[in-house]
Amino acid sequence: MSTIRIPTPLRPYTDGRKEVECPGASVTATLQELTARFPALGPHLFSGDGTLRPYVNVFVNDQDIRSLQGPATALTSDDRVMIVPSIAGGGESPALRPVDHAALRTNQAVIIGLLIAAYLVDVPVLAAAVGLLMLVGAARARPAFGWLYAWLRRARALRPDIVSDNPEPHRFAQLLGGVFLSLAGLSFAVGWSGTGWILAALVTLLAAINLFAGVCVGCAIYYWLARLHVPGFSKSPPPGVLPGRRPAA
């Protein structure tokens, strides 16, 4: 059975439950099973002709079903479905989007491990390579080691941890780490090994704070820049969440 994550505004119609497990081979079948179990929820998801209402955004893991097969998107038992209502005013884009924090944590753990290994075996090029992958990941709006997370998911070693969040601050944090490691690579290239390892250690520390304490310093910087109305920084923290802190599940 797939797990459906219920947004806060709709939880009164599911007896306060945050998550509900429902069978179904597709998104439509699973949501129909959900509304059969909680009839009061039905009018908030489906219109009179049985189609999803236009202001209801549905994601499978962290992908909008509009970019998949729509309501006919097939589901497996490991999939997590998230319902995200649009922002007030009926806009099509949700204020927050599903962000898979399991993918973020995997990315952070791999970065930490590779940077520590690079220092222990004294291979500066490995630290520079990690920085390059982080820059590429930021450009693609994906975690640098998302491919490894996807493999671990297929092997059933990890499960998604989907949270309503802003993906942009996390991309910025990865970009920032990639820039620091690129500067470290330049430092190694000109013979400033000490400076290079200090920059690599800073990235390792920030990734560890994010992984173990749930505090994304790069995200906090993003939100600070947004408060200063810096162009390109427009998102606000999720309601009730301190800038940089992980939103509650």
pLDDT tens-digit map of 205-216: 999 999 999 999
Task: Say whether pLDDT at 86 is over 70.
Answer: no
Mode of pairing for the β-strands spanning 97-100 and 162-165: antiparallel
Q: Is domain 2-95 given the CATH code 3.10.20.30 in the classification?
A: yes
Residues 12-40: b if buried by 16+ CB within 10 A, e if exposed: ebbeeeeebebebebbbbbbbbbbeebee
CA distances to 174, 211, 224 from 215, in Å? 14, 8, 14
pLDDT for 48: 81
pLDDT for 79: 85
What is the tens place of the pLDDT at every residue in 53-76? 877 888 888 788 888 888 899 988
Average pLDDT over residues 19-39: 90
pTM of the model: 0.75
Residues of the chain within CATH 3.10.20.30 domain(s) are: 2-95
Dig out the tokens for 201 from the structure: 């250690």
